[in-house]
Amino acid sequence: MAYKISDACISCGACAAGCPVDAIAEGDTQYNIDADTCISCGACAAGCPVEAISEE
């Protein structure tokens, strides 16, 4: 199951830097996770300073 970034995202980039498969990219208003690429490792959620990432 892929992870999802909520509207609480502050666009700091910590999640993208921690993703081992580069499944996270900067969007217009926040970062987004490509569900097809995500391996559900949880590295993004662990690195998020505002806890904006959770499993779908």
Fold of 3-55: Alpha-Beta Plaits (3.30.70)
How much of the chain, in percent, has pLDDT values that exceed 90? 95
> Model confidence over 29-40: pLDDT tens digits?
999 999 999 999
pLDDT (mean) for 48-54: 97
The full set of domain ranges for the chain reads 3-55
For the segment 8-36, the average pLDDT, to the nearest whole number, is 96
Q: Strands 53-55 and 24-26, how do they pair?
A: unpaired
